[in-house]
């Protein structure tokens, strides 16, 4: 599952805006409310499956996932 699909499947009820911004050279950064949650440039690798979702879950704290 893609990071976008993970986020929308689990947190569609709290995400007001989700933007996919095309970059160059394989850039993959995930920023939430101005805070960088994941950067391929910093890690030197693409995010593992579920990694972005786990980081987002930690960021939003005690919020139930959609459908729970």
* pLDDT at site 25: 83
**Closest Cα to residue 37, out of 13, 57, 14?**
57
Q: What is the pLDDT of residue 22?
A: 78
Residue 39 resides in a domain:
yes
Asked whether residue 64 is domain-assigned, the answer is no
Indicate the number of domains in the chain.
1
Convert the pLDDT of each residue in 13-55 to its tens digit: 999 999 888 778 888 999 999 999 999 999 999 999 999 999 9
Q: Is residue 12 situated within a structural domain?
A: yes
Domain hosting 48: range is: 3-58
Asked if the structure places residue 19 within a domain, the reply is: yes
Q: Is residue 14 part of a domain?
A: yes
Residue 8 inside a domain? The answer is: yes
Please state, in angstroms and rounded to a whole number, the distance separating the CA atoms of residues 19 and 51.
Answer: 18
Whether this model's pTM surpasses 0.75: yes
Cα–Cα distance for residue pair 10/6, rounded to 1 Å: 6
């Amino acid at each position: 599952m893609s990071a976008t699909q993970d986020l929308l499947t689990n947190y569609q009820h709290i995400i007001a805006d989700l933007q996919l911004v095309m970059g160059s050279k394989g850039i993959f950064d995930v920023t939430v409310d101005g805070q960088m949650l994941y950067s391929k440039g910093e890690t030197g690798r693409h995010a593992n499956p579920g990694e972005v979702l786990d980081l987002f879950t930690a960021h939003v704290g005690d919020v139930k996932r959609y459908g729970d």
